[in-house]
Structure 1
């Protein structure tokens, strides 16, 4: 089966008893792209990912993944998908090589030894192949997991917060590998809380309270938020932050390194408020909102989660 869309689902709903975890999500994702799944904890990202790859039955909705109906052809989807979970889920009392060999046998890979050797080499694991998984750092466990879930050359790679708890260099190396896989034709959907990682994606889907509230390129998500942001710099920035709390026009106040970002949607009211709260040694400049500014604003716009919890 061929299709320009790796994922084409509409109206996805998942209920667990009287709790609605996902409510009417649409995704049309072209093959070969890297998309980011953003949203606060409990927004429905993991549940959506598991429905897409056939690990969870949908309650309502319809669509295809890799050209196969997500309800009727789940086994075909699973065999062509790699899924890396939030928590390291391989065998800690086995070596790297033993883990990869075990997964290769599960997939009944031909030329097992050759395939394992190539996988270890590709992910830079050859020199560590006899090391027990339990002795690995977070970054090396991440590489092992990625090797295992891409061993069978899946058409779709689903990554659920894959870089949580690893150092910046390991995160960068991981993303370099993700984009290499994408250039080879693999479609990648990755759930993340890191704004710098989201900015590496071709497109972002933002979920809140089980619903899709925004989708687009980074610039489109920022535009969608309709934010105006002023940036303050200077020695008195930290003292100024507390004085700005409580003004209606100043909807979001957050530190960015040694600077302060203040965001809202009424430029004139914001400007008047900031001028009135002038502080010595502080300079203000209007800047383009960051993705994090937009993320915080979208969370606030989504409001309190009113889904019924079991």
Structure 2
């Protein structure tokens, strides 16, 4: 098992615009790593590079010692996009069954696993409902369930709790903690400060550059700040 679950040193350009500028990151199994930054800072692009959806303009990403993109690695990675990639005309169960097959869950295990993940996100009673009739928050929860289906070693989640009520958010974070304790690496992008406080480590990103990396306590101590929001502003974060 490689020491780091993910190693990245990447630059990403779209035409003449630099989206990520020499981002250097090492992520370990058994941690919740929060990527904190405003909209447009490069969080989503970095997540897409890490899971192999996009390729770096310069540098490389290695996931479990394998250079990305690599299709076989997707069975070890759970990915939740910022925009829900769901089939509205299908029921929740039909969506889950499709993605379970796609991610390699054995047919004999699919029904049990589908029920398990839907219980985690409090949607077990909505399995036969068409996704087009789901609220925005329910779609986020279904997307999270899909990312968890195949028991991945690595979870890459782009703003997974947007539109989810506070009590369910607590349950989801409890699930994250349980997964982390079992050795799963979880990367969560967020701009919610109380979620940032719950991460094992944080990477603060602005204008496509990592401006700080450390535990929440380390970052607050370095900047003599009381809150993560103060620390972020001290490091040069804020509105772009």
**What is the TM-score with the length of structure 2 in the denominator?**
0.90
Q: 2:40: which partner in 1?
A: 42
- 1:209-246 per-residue CA deviation (whole Å, 9 max, x = no partner) reads 1111100011111233x34xxxxxxxxxxxxxxxxxxx
Tell me, in whole angstroms, the C-alpha distance in 1 between the residues paired with 2:118 and 2:218: 39
Q: Is the 8 A contact 1:203 1:218 kept in 2?
A: yes
Q: 1:16 to 1:123 in 2, by over 3 A?
A: same
Q: 1:296: which partner in 2?
A: 233
Q: 2:205: which partner in 1?
A: 207
Query: Aligned to 1:76, which of 60, 72, 76?
Result: 72
The higher relative CO (CA closer than 8 Å, separation ≥ 6) is in: 2
Task: Give the C-alpha shift of residue 3 in structure 1.
Answer: 1.1
Q: Structure 1 regions of 5+ residues with no counterpart?
A: 228-287, 306-310
Q: 1:94 to 1:304 in 2, by over 3 A?
A: closer
Q: 1:90: which partner in 2?
A: 86
Q: Is the 8 A contact 1:119 1:151 kept in 2?
A: yes
Task: Give the C-alpha shift of residue 62 in structure 1.
Answer: 2.8
Structure with greater Cα Rg: 1
Tell me, in whole angstroms, the C-alpha distance in 2 between the residues paired with 1:93 and 1:122: 23
- 1:163-218 per-residue CA deviation (whole Å, 9 max, x = no partner) reads 12222122222212222222232110000000000111000001111111100011
Structure 1 residue 19 corresponds to structure 2 residue 17: yes
Q: Is the 8 A contact 2:137 2:162 kept in 1?
A: no
Task: Give the C-alpha shift of residue 140 in structure 1.
Answer: 2.9
Structure 1 residue 29 corresponds to structure 2 residue 27: yes
Q: Structure 2 regions of 5+ residues with no counterpart?
A: none
Q: Which secondary structure state, in structure 1, belongs to the residue aligned with residue 95 of structure 2?
A: helix
RMSD, aligned α-carbons: 2.1
Q: 2:130: which partner in 1?
A: 132
Structure 1 residue 113 corresponds to structure 2 residue 130: no
Task: Give the C-alpha shift of residue 63 in structure 1.
Answer: 4.2
Paired residues for 1:189-268 under 5 Å: 189-224=187-222, 226-227=223-224
Q: 1:3 to 1:108 in 2, by over 3 A?
A: closer
- 1:33-64 per-residue CA deviation (whole Å, 9 max, x = no partner) reads 10100112111111111111111111111341
Q: Which secondary structure state, in structure 1, belongs to the residue aligned with residue 5 of structure 2?
A: strand
Q: 1:101: which partner in 2?
A: 97
**What is the TM-score with the length of structure 1 in the denominator?**
0.71
Paired residues for 1:137-176 under 5 Å: 137-176=135-174
Q: 1:104 to 1:176 in 2, by over 3 A?
A: same
